Amino acid sequence: MITVVDYGMGNLRSVVKAVEKYAPDVQVSSDPASVKNSKALIMPGDGAFGAAMTNLTERGWIEPLKEFIGNGGHFLGICLGYQLLFSSSEEFGEHQGLGIIPGKVVRFNLPADMKVPHMGWNSVEFKKESKFMAGIPSGSHFYFIHTYYPVPEDRSWIIGEADYGGEFACIVGKGNLLAAQFHPEKSHNAGLKIIENFVRDVCA
């Protein structure tokens, strides 16, 4: 069973529909106990970092998520679900994250002629090989919408970078963990290929 984590942040349906193209068993769950019966977790999300951490804490997700990832479980974080993996965020004050990946989520600081949020299609250059990027050329375009982005302290986590007023890490991963700032479910063939690769690795 692949579980899409419902922690009250954002519309999950587009992610579920994309995963269902490749996986027969997909569920949306707001119950942390569902982790025990899951082969993989997918955590999407839209909204503010602090509110998301409050929801995860109050709904009892923090320790199950950390334990699942720590034990090598397959995990895919998307957009806010990517940012929450990091140590902290400066969005609307200082907030502590899950602390899976050392680093801080910061706001774009760009010239006046560059719009924030960063929204639309952007090419991504791959910095290292990943089983989840198989069959996707470096330089492929993906769909972004975000005002903040993480800065990993350890660059060995970085799989891909985009350039918007400067390079920033937009895909990270190690082992069975993968996370992306863009929305693979909205990124046409290249994005769906990431989801397909993830699902196939889960089911292998």
User: Is 170 assigned a catalytic role?
Assistant: no
Confidence check: pLDDT of 24 > 90: no
Question: What pLDDT does residue 90 have?
Answer: 97
Q: Is 185 a catalytic residue?
A: yes
Asked if residues 179 and 173 have their Cβ atoms less than 8 Å apart, the reply is: yes
Select which of 74, 95, 146, 183 is catalytic.
183
Task: Please report, for the chain, the start and end positions of each structural domain, with discontinuous segments joined by +.
Answer: 2-203
Cα(40)–Cα(74) distance, integer angstroms:
5
Q: If we measure between CA atoms, which residue out of 156, 59, 55 comes closest to residue 102?
A: 156
Catalytic residue among 79, 95, 146, 170: 79
47 to 78, 81, 151, 178, 181: CA distances (angstroms):
12, 10, 19, 20, 13
CATH superfamily of 2-203: Class I glutamine amidotransferase (GATase) domain (3.40.50.880)
What is this structure's pTM? Answer: 0.96
Q: Report pLDDT for 167.
A: 97
- Distance separating alpha carbons of residues 6 and 44, to the nearest angstrom: 8
- Is residue 204 pLDDT above 90, yes or no? no
Task: Decide: helix, strand or coil at residue 103.
Answer: strand
- Residue 124: the pLDDT is 98
pLDDT at 10: 82
Q: Give me the torsion for CA of 113, 116, 122, 127, rounded to 10°.
A: 100
Which position among 118, 146, 185, 196 bears the catalytic label? 185
